[in-house]
A and B are shown apart, each in its own frame.
Chain A
Amino acid sequence: MEILRIENLTKTYGAGENMVRALDNVSLSIEKGEFVSIIGPSGSGKSTLLHIIGGVDRPTSGKVYMNGQDVYAQNEEQLAIFRRREVGLIYQFYNLIPVLNVVENMTLPVLLDGRKVNEERLSELLTALSLSDRKDNLPNQLSGGQQQRVSIGRALMNAPSVMLADEPTGNLDSRNSQEIVELLKMSNRKYDQTLIVITHDENIALQADRIIAIEDGRITRDERIRRAH
């Protein structure tokens, strides 16, 4: 089942001579439950693609359909709700709110949605993320790996259908990196979530079901890796 379809997506910055095409007429389709890694050199446009999918940046032209819904046909209010329910974003620099503790940061999308926190799911995630004894800590009291785990927890809390991770391990050492990848893979399998990861790390890229390479704003390679589960 197709969960995400992108049609003729273009994103430009600047104008005239200085115009930069970050994305140039990109089209692609992703199935539900797929684990996709996006690779490409710096400035190739992969982050832009991810942000546009996540509803945090706007395309210059083209369409993004999530579950058949045209994402950018929604108004700001609907877009915000889309962000909190449909996608989970993970950044290289964790982007936690410094004055909120671990639990508060993790439950932020649920709380913003005005719903009650599913305590069972929270403790399950805390355990899975090895953050159970760090519940009340503020971000600046955590290590980089821990902070990234919190941001993953935040992305998973709402059980979104699509997880987007922008170099989630870029700032971490190899041991922490592998842990994070395992976590992402686990949730991909366990909750049948679609997972799209931008990475420079070949090890991580090769663990995906599908690798998409981007160069100068265009998809240059799109291959499925066949392996037995």
Chain B
Amino acid sequence: MGVLLKYTIRTLRKNRMRTFVTLVGIVLSMALVTAVIEGGYSGQQFLVRGTEADIGRFYGFFMNLHPEDAGKVSSFEGVTETAGMTEVGWAEIGSVNVQKPYLLVESIDEHFEELVAVHLLEGRMPENDSELVLPYHLETNGGVHHAVGDTLELSVGTRMADNSRVHMDTPFMEGADEITGAEERTYTVVGIMERFSWDVEYKKCPGYMALTKGGSGDSVNVFFRLKSARKYQDFTRKIWFEDQKIQSNGSLLAYSGSFSDGGFQQLLYGFIGVLVFLIAFGSISLIYNSFSISVSERTRQYGVLKSVGATKRQIRGTVFMEALTLSLIAIPVGLFLGCAGIGLTLYFLRDIFQRMFDPGNTARMQLVLNPAALGIAALSGLVTVLISAFIPAKRAIRVPPISAIRENADVRIRPRAVRTSRLTQKLFGFEGTMAAKNFKRNRRRYRSTVVSLFLSIVLFISASSFSSYLTASATDLGAVDTAGDVMVQVNTESYDALMKYYDTIRLNPMTEEASVMLYCANSLEVPEDALSESFFANNPKEELQPGLYAQGMLSIYAAVILIDDRQFDIYAKACGTSREALTKDGEVQAILMNAVKYFRYEENGRKFYSYEFLKESALPASVVMSRIKEIEGFILTEFQEDNSAEYLPQEYLDELDQKGMSLDDADPEKKIILSERDAHEYIPLTIGAVTDRLPLSPVGSSFRLLVLPLSEEERLISNGEIGSFQQVISVRSSEHAKLTEELTKTFREEGVSDIRVEDLAESRETVRMAILAINVFSYGFIILISLIAVANIFNTISTNILLRRREFAMLKSVGLSERGFRKMLNYECLIYGFKGLLFGLPAAVFMTFVIWRITTTSFEVPFFIPWQSVVIAVGSVFAVVFATMIYARRKLSKDNPIDALKLETL
């Protein structure tokens, strides 16, 4: 084989450009496949690590086993680790949550922390059966506050419902649930932990799970981990115990590949599938094309080899060696570049991933190499190259040697086949006719070019759609466009309490600016003639309700917010007015945020709308806020068909409740019925100024918004009761993360549970980062796949032209001018481009549709075509085709016609 190997290597070296392009093609494809596979694997490992740290390493646990049975689990086939949690008993804890009245004391064994994640917020783990770690939600959800060091006296007993023993998997059974055989026990609180995940502490578990150690009981939950997550389902299908109940660690199993947990997983696999399909398609076509060209170019040489006695096997051998030589160089390089590329990308984006998927800060995104996957990638690359090489080789070998030598195998032309239209002749002259004939003559060659153009168009547009849909999904996940870095949501009944919290926040040194806001959305009755035309254009008049208060008014849903006075002054100034200017008759007039902007999903994408609410000329405008009237001592129970309201006395309702009667049994005599108009109270307001600026508040610009200073609260709030308002404190702070943490801690320590601190800047950042990450990935992908596509086109067109060297020389020798020659090639370019687009664009639209369907399994996104990419694709197709032509023409015009004519082998 020595001479054939030499032959192969020299041929590769001689056709340097094509060998290089082929090598680049293999390297790129390998790198892409490797990056996708290893990236996916690393991501999966990241999620596994995150889940293990968050929930625990167990795959599942047997519930409520008898202590004797509990010991058996570790000997079951496939089980590698076990940990136990023994039910010590249940105790009334005085929680405000009626569904969760108990504390559930569980005793953990020494292996527990290895399998189940315990997140201590304060203190330490229990060391004996008189120490207890309480969950934090006992306080936030149950309203029971205990600090580390407190001593707890509990009556711990067995929980019974309807006279049978029940455990944590049975929800609270009202009226039937009781604790029996209670014993008094004293515990010392040694720690506070975060609540367990729902996999461990079942959502409807009626007790707050607290941990002790070394306690005893007659019901044990046994956590286990198996050798392989994939064996989990088989394991749980077996009957190990009578009435066995197994709870699984669903997320960990899903990430470990045991079973899918629906939506997200499906989306991820769907996208990875599309990616691999695109890459495979692109690279196979590139590699196949370059071999196809390389082989057909050498058909004649194969003929010569055969005529001097080379067997089919020997010729196949040379192709095999060519493929192997290229693979040996390109595959390792591709694997390395793929790993390095995805490794670096993950390294630079690691914080983003952390933010997106693992706010608990427990796992780090990093490249995890999977040797098996690398092996599979390399093998599939090799197989692709070999198959791409063998198919054209087989075709070439079949040609009898003498036909191959004469190079007349392909040429079987009938006059009709090369007939061209008169129009071509008229439009493009003789050169155009020649170009068109060339096409028709050599269908196979021209087809390979059109196919690669077609693929490039499909690949590019699909990849762009892929990226746009992914971005659209991510944007959909969190559209946050509000002011403020930290948002504190308060849920208190009393105005004074709110002000107390406000002071705490305002006085924190990290707070740069804070504003308190009370917010309610109600009907606003507005005189019809004050509304702007653009308002009606967006809100057809027929769809609006007439007002109740007076004739000529329309009832429109709007929000009124009260912001603290200092903020109001700042806001008023920013809007070009002042509180003084707005004060009339001792009342401050409202400022209206008049530029309403919102988006709606429509057929061709997300579309933004905007309009002005009121005509500026209608100022000052008198409007009326209307809301349901509250009657002291009565409760609104029902609206009747004509919208009139029924009220019942509070005392009577309590009475009904005690007797276990429903509203239907109520005595009609006790009811007060008010007409719709009378059931509302009307608060007249005046709008003194309009603006297009948002105040510092978490309310977005999609609302019609009236802004008033907090000092006007009495007009809206009676008796300081603010239960019907949303209460928000917005904070601007550059140290938002630290401030959020500190405020959360402060309020927790003070035992305040009706407050939630949220780092808005963080969530905004997260969304921005997610989009950035998606863009980095998809643009990286698009660039690489486009490179493959360009290499493909370059390869086919340039060789197709160079192969016709002799023919061009002949044309030149009979007097085809340089200009005519150029014209002919340009016309060929046009045919290539149009043919490619003709087939490529519909296929690309189809791929976009497929991608859209995959996206809609998880997100509501309307179908749209990325027009920008389509334009780029069309432009680039012609650019690449013409650039390649120019390259090939330059090479050709160096030819001396006679030398080229004499060329015997290419």
Interface, chain A (partner B; CB < 8 A): 51, 54, 56-58, 76-77, 80-85, 89, 91, 93-100, 104, 107-109, 111-113, 154
Contact = CB atoms under 8 A, between A and B. Distances in A.
A99 B306 contact: no
Nearest to A93: B904
Contacts of A84: 308-310
B405 A95 contact: yes
16 contacts: A51-B402, A56-B402, A56-B405, A57-B400, A76-B311, A80-B310, A80-B312, A80-B314, A83-B308, A84-B309, A93-B904, A96-B304, A97-B304, A97-B905, A99-B13, A111-B3
Main secondary structure of the interface of B (DSSP, over half): helix
B227 interface: no
Contacts of A112: 3-4, 305, 308-311, 314
Given A57-B400, A93-B904, A99-B10, 20 more contacts: A56-B401, A58-B400, A76-B312, A77-B311, A81-B309, A82-B309, A84-B308, A94-B904, A95-B304, A95-B405, A97-B7, A97-B304, A97-B305, A97-B905, A99-B14, A108-B305, A108-B308, A112-B305, A112-B308, A112-B310
B306 A83 contact: yes
A107 B400 contact: no
Interface in B402-435: 402-403, 405
A95 B577 CA distance: 94
Contacts of B6: 100, 104
Contacts of A93: 904
Contacts of B310: 80, 84, 112
Contact of B308 (A57, A98, A154): A154
B197 interface: no
A100 B308 contact: no
A104 B904 contact: no
A47 to B, nearest CB: 9
Nearest to A107: B3
Nearest to B11: A99
Which of B4, B6, B304, B403 is the most central at the interface, judged by chain A CB atoms within 10 Å of its CB?
Answer: B304
A111 B303 CA distance: 17
Contacts of A109: 308-309
Given A94-B904, A95-B405, A111-B2, A56 B306 contact: yes
A-B pairs, 6 with minimum CB distance = A84-B309, A99-B10, A80-B311, A111-B3, A56-B401, A83-B309
Chain B CB count within 10 A is highest, among A94, A95, A96, for: A95
Contact of B313 (A77, A83, A113): A77
A76 B14 CA distance: 30
Nearest to A91: B405
A213 to B, nearest CB: 22
Interface string B146-185: 0000000000000000000000000000000000000000
Interface string B294-328: 00000011011111111111100000000000000
A98 B905 contact: yes
A95 B7 contact: no
Nearest to B10: A99
Given A91-B405, A95-B405, A112-B314, A100 B7 contact: yes
B680 to A, nearest CB: 95
Nearest to B905: A98
A77 B312 contact: yes
A133 B395 CA distance: 39
A195 B227 CA distance: 78
Contacts of A99: 7, 10-11, 13-14
A100 B310 CA distance: 15
Interface in B265-306: 300-301, 303-306
A153 to B, nearest CB: 12
A123 B125 CA distance: 92
B11 A95 contact: no
B307 A108 contact: no
Given A51-B402, A58-B400, A95 B307 contact: yes
Contacts of A83: 306-309
Contacts of A98: 14, 301, 905
B424 to A, nearest CB: 28
Nearest to B404: A56
Nearest to A82: B309
B93 to A, nearest CB: 88
Nearest to A166: B402
Contact of A56 (B4, B11, B307, B313): B307
B306 A57 contact: no
Contacts of A81: 309, 311
B301 A97 contact: yes
Interface in B653-685: none
Contacts of A85: 309
Nearest to B315: A80
Interface in B695-733: none
B785 to A, nearest CB: 34
B420 to A, nearest CB: 23
B511 to A, nearest CB: 78
B642 to A, nearest CB: 92
A93 B307 CA distance: 14
A146 to B, nearest CB: 14
Contacts of B2: 111
A94 B307 CA distance: 12
A61 B785 CA distance: 53
Interface in B740-769: none
B521 to A, nearest CB: 82
Nearest to B414: A18
A113 B309 contact: yes
A95 B300 CA distance: 9
Nearest to A94: B904
A77 to B, nearest CB: 5
A108 B3 contact: yes
User: Which of B4, B312, B403, B905 is most buried by chain A, counting CB atoms within 10 A of its CB?
Assistant: B905
Contact of A80 (B7, B303, B309): B309
A54 B307 contact: yes
A86 B550 CA distance: 115
A37 to B, nearest CB: 20
A154 to B, nearest CB: 6
A56 B405 CA distance: 10
A104 B402 contact: no
Contacts of B313: 77
